[in-house]
Structure 1
Amino acid sequence: MDAFYQQIPRPDFPRSRVARNAKPLINTFDAEFPYTAPPLDFSFMNIGNFDSYLHGKDDEPRQQGQKKLPVKTEDGKYSTTTLKMNNNLLQEWKGFAQFLTDVLASPQELYWLDLSFNYLIKIDEVILNFPNIKILYLHGNAIEDAKEIDKLAQLPHLISITLHGNPVESDPGYRQRVLSKLPNLRALDFSRITKADREKSQVYVSMVGDRNPTTKKKHARSNTK
């Protein structure tokens, strides 16, 4: 599972980078992740959209070294709660739900989803159809609007998320705003959330309210043109 913490930023995507001053979540996996099967790994396969797999693409999932693939059921689906789609060419979520239904034996049990290092601009609400997600990797994408992150507040079990390497990371108060919108988080961008982080988040909200910093940033850019 070390590979989950050692994703290398893709050189063709300059916004991809490792979070500054990040502290690895050494114990989160052991304490929170009921790991009973290997991950289903479709990373580094140049997948441009979920439909491309559904419509005849016959790529098999990756097998890491001597590690076994998840058990395959009689209907050709995989018994696992972990899916890796990182380092691909995904730009949208079309076909996401059907993809999970086609490859996972129990898609509703999806627990850990890695979509890092793609080209996603939005966070589609289709992800809310999988409420058991606890760990979500979205770092190294193209998410710019902070409002996209707000949608994830409806995932009741989400405790760890990565968003660094997205344009939204440069928003003023980025970390404080994320914590205010996702109060159940225990980790953000591979860094544990401390009591001090919570306090800073509360101060931030009391000062700026619910304003979207992305809107302000876009307005500032338009005034400089």
Structure 2
Amino acid sequence: MFGSPVDFSFKELNTIPDILSDVPNPGALRLKRDSEQKFLSRTLRLNNNFISDLSGLTDIVSALFVEPNRLAWLDLSFNEIEHINPVLTQLKELRLLYLHGNRICKLSEVDKLTVLPSLNTITLHGNPIVTEPDYRSHLIATLPHVKMIDFSAVTKQERTLTSVWQKSRNPRKSTSQSKVD
């Protein structure tokens, strides 16, 4: 039922609402639409633009897609995003989120994504955030369902080491948990 990605990459878009005044790039396969001309897709590509603010994303996704709440793949790579807008947390079925090549500086920005239970792939390489100590451990601890970070699989050993890392960072919590057990 769901077709090709809706691709607005390399469109020189500055804001999310700019999407409505443009047409998607043609793909190898023709985009499928319903009777209202909404797209039958679960993928939106907005990479390689000049987007810095995601305000209005929910409205745009609702205007473009037949089932906006089923958006599973969002590519926002190579834009000018500095903050993870809470609007992303409304995309409950999001599975893949590409944010590489942006301007995200703080690890705490990633914490906003903890409410996305289906998120299993995220990219953040090429952002200043990757220079933070314990970058990958923080992502694994914060997003426990993630299986791929920056196109690299999260291993069982990494999960074990992250668990140890978490306990060492919060010794009171692990001590109080031990008393409960």
Is TM (by shorter chain) over 0.5?
yes
Code of the residue aligned with 2:26 in structure 1: it is: Q
Q: TM-score, normalised by structure 1?
A: 0.73
Percent of residue pairs identical:
35
Q: Give the structure 1 partner of residue 170 of structure 2.
A: 209
| Residue 132 of structure 1: how far off its partner (Å) | 0.3
Matched, 1:49 2:12: no
* Corresponding residue pairs, total: 171
Code of the residue aligned with 1:157 in structure 2: it is: S
Q: Does the residue aligned with 1:128 lie in a helix, a strand or coil?
A: helix
- Counting only pairs closer than 5 Å after superposition, residues 64-79 of structure 1 correspond to structure 2 as 64=27, 67-79=28-40
Q: Give the structure 2 partner of residue 117 of structure 1.
A: 78
Q: Give the structure 2 partner of residue 151 of structure 1.
A: 112
Note if contact 2:8-2:19 (Cα within 8 Å) is conserved in structure 1. Answer: no
Note if contact 1:49-1:91 (Cα within 8 Å) is conserved in structure 2. Answer: yes
Q: Give the structure 2 partner of residue 63 of structure 1.
A: 26
When the two chains are superposed, the root-mean-square deviation of aligned CA atoms in Å is 1.5
Q: Give the structure 2 partner of residue 185 of structure 1.
A: 146
State how far apart, in whole Å, the 1-side matches of 2:94 and 2:136 are: 21
- Counting only pairs closer than 5 Å after superposition, residues 161-176 of structure 1 correspond to structure 2 as 161-176=122-137
Q: Give the structure 1 partner of residue 101 of structure 2.
A: 140
Q: Does the residue aligned with 1:71 lie in a helix, a strand or coil?
A: coil
Moved over 3 A (4+): none
| Residue 36 of structure 1: how far off its partner (Å) | 4.1
- Structure 1 unaligned runs (5+)? 1-34, 211-225
Note if contact 2:98-2:122 (Cα within 8 Å) is conserved in structure 1. Answer: yes
Q: TM-score, normalised by structure 2?
A: 0.90
Note if contact 1:40-1:84 (Cα within 8 Å) is conserved in structure 2. Answer: yes
Note if contact 2:15-2:50 (Cα within 8 Å) is conserved in structure 1. Answer: yes
Note if contact 2:140-2:159 (Cα within 8 Å) is conserved in structure 1. Answer: yes
Q: Does the residue aligned with 2:119 lie in a helix, a strand or coil?
A: coil
State how far apart, in whole Å, the 1-side matches of 2:154 and 2:2 are: 27
State how far apart, in whole Å, the 1-side matches of 2:120 and 2:101 are: 19
| Residue 183 of structure 1: how far off its partner (Å) | 0.5
Matched, 1:101 2:67: no
Note if contact 2:55-2:87 (Cα within 8 Å) is conserved in structure 1. Answer: no
State how far apart, in whole Å, the 1-side matches of 2:89 and 2:160 are: 28
Q: For residues 42-76 of structure 1, what are the alpha-carbon distances to aligned partners after superposition, in whole Å with 9 as ceiling and x for unaligned?
A: 0000010012234xx2x210113xx1232112212
